[in-house]
């Protein structure tokens, strides 16, 4: 669905799921929260989003001229299946690696140091989300445009222009936040109490590292949109 328009994806991930979750949590708290109900409140909105996505996909495919024309032509099914899985399998493992990159560091800190230090480090890493939100937002908006422009070599200048523009927007929104987090790390960590100031150095290092991450723009999205999922998988494996 995102390949056609970001609107439905934004509706599901940024409206439906964030709104339904607290509503369900509130209802279950009133009824008497249990671990099972908490899990249901977290997972059920994803199921609702999936139904919306499937409905939107079917509606969009039905109105796609190329699809309607293709239904009346003999299909090279084997080639399509091979092409699909060649692209998708590396993407699947890449997504797993990305989840591990996001959460494994906290487990390492807990294993090698202590649960208290892992908690402080986890807080510092969550602060970084505020500095990288622009990268996520811009990447989601620009992905369909990159895919469209990559489809024809004559649009290469436009592709470069879109990428440069999106990178500048990402930097202009992210760098001020990241620099403030790096400089005033003691103040931000002290918000949670004196025990959390042990992660001041972590917050500073992570914020400065994200300057490079956001400064290179949506390079991962560009690799995926150009079909280079194996290269992306290699980069994520190296990062892990």
pLDDT tens digits, one per residue of 91-115: 889 889 988 988 888 999 999 998 8
Confidence band, pLDDT 50/70/90 cuts, at residue 29: confident
The predicted pLDDT at position 237 comes to 92
Q: Which of 99, 89, 96 is nearest to 229 (CA)?
A: 89
Average pLDDT, the chain: 87
The predicted pLDDT at position 198 comes to 92
9-13, 60-64, 98-102, 125-129: which has the minimum mean pLDDT? 60-64
State how far the Cα of 9 lies from the Cα of 52, in Å rounded to an integer. 10
Average pLDDT of 213-230?
89
Instruction: Output the pTM of the full model.
Output: 0.70
pLDDT tens digits, one per residue of 59-84: 888 777 776 666 666 666 667 788 88
pLDDT exceeds cutoff 90 at 187: yes
Q: Can you say whether residue 75 is alpha, beta or left, with left for phi > 0 and alpha for psi between -120 and 50 degrees? A: beta
Average pLDDT of 147-152?
82
pLDDT exceeds cutoff 90 at 178: yes
The predicted pLDDT at position 76 comes to 62
First to last CA, the chain: 29
The predicted pLDDT at position 77 comes to 67
The predicted pLDDT at position 37 comes to 86
Contact 118, 109 (CB under 8 A): yes
The predicted pLDDT at position 71 comes to 62
The predicted pLDDT at position 82 comes to 83
């Amino acid at each position: 669905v995102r390949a056609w328009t970001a609107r439905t994806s934004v509706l599901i991930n940024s409206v439906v799921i964030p709104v339904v979750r607290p509503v369900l949590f509130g209802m279950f708290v009133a009824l008497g929260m249990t671990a099972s109900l908490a899990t249901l409140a977290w997972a059920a909105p994803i199921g609702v989003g999936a139904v919306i996505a499937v409905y939107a996909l079917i509606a969009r495919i039905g109105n796609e001229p190329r699809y309607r024309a293709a239904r009346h032509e003999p299909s090279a099914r084997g080639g399509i299946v091979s092409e699909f899985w060649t692209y998708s399998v590396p993407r699947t493992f890449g997504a797993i690696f990305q989840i591990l990159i996001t959460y494994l560091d906290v487990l390492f800190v807990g294993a090698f140091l202590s649960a208290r230090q892992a908690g402080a480090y986890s807080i510092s890493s969550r602060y970084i989300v505020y500095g990288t939100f622009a990268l996520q937002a811009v990447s989601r908006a620009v992905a369909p445009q990159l895919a469209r422009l990559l489809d024809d070599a004559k649009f290469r200048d436009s592709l470069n222009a879109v990428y440069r523009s999106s990178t500048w927007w990402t930097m202009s929104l992210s760098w001020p936040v990241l620099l403030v987090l790096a400089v005033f790390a003691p103040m931000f960590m002290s918000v949670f109490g004196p025990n959390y100031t042990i992660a001041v150095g972590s917050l500073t290092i992570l914020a400065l590292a994200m300057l490079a991450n956001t400064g290179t723009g949506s390079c991962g999205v560009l690799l995926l949109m150009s079909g280079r999922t194996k290269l992306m998988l290699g980069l994520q494996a190296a990062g892990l």
